[in-house]
Structure 1
Amino acid sequence: MTTTISNSALTASVKHSGAELFSIKDNQNNEYIWEGNPDFWGKHSPVLFPIVGTLKNNTYKIKDQEYNLSRHGFARDMEFELIDKTENKAVFSLKSSEETLKKYPFEFELQIIYTLNENSLDLEYKVINKGEEKMPFSIGAHPAIALPDNFEDYAIKFEKEENLKYNLLENDLISSKTKVLETSDGIIPLNYELFKNDALVFKTVESKSLTILKNANPYIQVDYKDFPSLGIWTKENAPFICIEPWFGYSDTAHNSVDLFKKEGILVLDAGQNFRSQFSIKVL
């Protein structure tokens, strides 16, 4: 099943499976989200919950009990319920179940809220701890922005000129090796060589907004003021770029198996809510 919302400028479509955004079109029918061709990558914009990235050996412990979670968690592969819908807004919900409790022993509700405001799509995550104990979790976005024509016609301009230090990945885990992206006026020209070692993972980033440029002209802006970390990723020869605001990231090789001690983890008190929002603006 899918749900579509619209306003005078944009139309957005979301799959109930994973509550995954798969289309943003303007009123000229231009598409801004990656089509999901499995020859490159068969997703569009999955939500990452209750972990971001990869756990060491895909395992973790709570109270000395071992659990298994695959890369990026299970929410992206589960059916969400549409719980509210207006012309320009849709709210999806995923609740803990017997199935999720086997992988993640916490009672929760995850809501994903899509709202169109003029030429922007706002995506809000709401996490509710419905249990009686503290709940550790990470959450992140993974939208793939379609880049028609030549990949190297595009560049990313960060909001601020800063020292863009990122951690390298080794076997899908965060290594201690870092590099710094060289920029000119905060601009990074895109090329596939940047991603030869997988995603660029910024544990911290001062810029809370970036703009994708096409032939030096503004194309898409992503604002992520609520999020401390950022991933940027594509696959070789693929015509898309993923801009990924995150709370949390993959384990390090020396990470504790205790999920409460995982680097970058959030902990939500019993009965409390967590909210964060980012936006994709068509320019």
Structure 2
Amino acid sequence: MTTTIKNVTLSAEIKHFGAELISLKTNQNKEYIWEGNPKFWGKHAPILFPIVGTLKNNSFQYEGTDYSLFRHGFARDMAFELIHSTENSATFTLQSSADTLKVYPFEFELQISYTLEENNLTIAYHVRNKGKSKMPFAIGAHPAFALPNEFENYAIAFEKEEDLEYYILENDLVSNKTERLKVDDKKIPLTYDLFKNDALIFKTLHSKSLTISENENPVLKVHFEGFPSLGIWTKMNAPFICIEPWFGYSDTTESTGDLFEKEGIQILESNGEFQSKYSIELL
């Protein structure tokens, strides 16, 4: 099942399974979201919750019990409920359940809201701790943007001057090894070689937006004010690029397995609430 929202400029389609954005088009029918061809990657823009990335040994410990929780968490693989919609907006919810408590022993509500305004789509996150104890969590976005022409025709421009140091993944975990990207006038040209070691992971950035351009012509801008970390990713020869604002990232190679000690983790008090949002601006 899907829900479509629209305004005079844009339309967006959201799949109820995973509350996942699967289409963002102009009124001229130009598509900006990756089609999800499983030959490369069968997702479009999954919601990453209650972890981002990979846990060491795909597990964590809480109050003496071991729990298994796989890459990027379970929200992307669960059915959300549509609880509110208008012509240009839709809000979905996922509640903790017996199934989620088996792998993540915390009571929560996660709401995802999509709103179209002019040439912008805003995606808002709202997390509530419904339990009586503190709740550790991470949350992140993973939108894949379609790049229909030659990959090397595209570039990413950062909002601000950056010393682009990214962390190398080892067995899907964040190592202590880093590399630097050469930045020319705040831009990095896209090449598949950039992703030879998987995603580029930036724990911190000065920029709060990135612009994708094709042959120097701006295509879209991702605004992520408030998100501390960012991933950029594609697969070899795939015609898309993922711009991923995150609260949290994969375990480090030195992780203890205690979620409360995890780098980048968010902690909500009992009955506490967390809100954040990012937006996609078509240019």
**Structures share a fold, TM > 0.5?**
yes
Counterpart of 1:260 in 2: which secondary structure?
helix
1:151-184, Cα deviation, whole Å (9 max, x unpaired): 1110000000110110010100001110111111
- 2:155 matched to 1:155? yes
Correspondences of 1:168-179 after superposition (within 5 Å): 168-179=168-179
Correspondences of 1:1-283 after superposition (within 5 Å): 1-283=1-283
1:217-259, Cα deviation, whole Å (9 max, x unpaired): 1101000012000000000110000000001100111111111
1:9-55, Cα deviation, whole Å (9 max, x unpaired): 10000000000000000011000000000000000000000000000
- In 1, the alpha carbon distance for the partners of 2:73 and 2:24 equals 25
RMSD over aligned Cα, in angstroms? 0.5
- In 2, the alpha carbon distance for the partners of 1:271 and 1:78 equals 23
Name stretches of at least 5 consecutive residues in structure 1 with no aligned partner: none
> 2:263 is matched by which residue type in structure 1?
E
Shift of 1:65: 1.0
- In 1, the alpha carbon distance for the partners of 2:171 and 2:86 equals 43
> 1:246 is matched by which residue type in structure 2?
W
> 2:61 is matched by which residue type in structure 1?
K
Name stretches of at least 5 consecutive residues in structure 2 with no aligned partner: none
TM-score w.r.t. the length of structure 2 is 0.99
Counterpart of 1:57 in 2: which secondary structure?
helix
> 1:43 is matched by which residue type in structure 2?
K
TM-score w.r.t. the length of structure 1 is 0.99
Counterpart of 1:235 in 2: which secondary structure?
coil
Counterpart of 2:210 in 1: which secondary structure?
strand
- In 1, the alpha carbon distance for the partners of 2:169 and 2:134 equals 30
Superposition misfits of 4+ residues, deviation over 2 angstroms: none
Tell me the number of residue pairs that the alignment of Structure 1 and Structure 2 aligns. 283
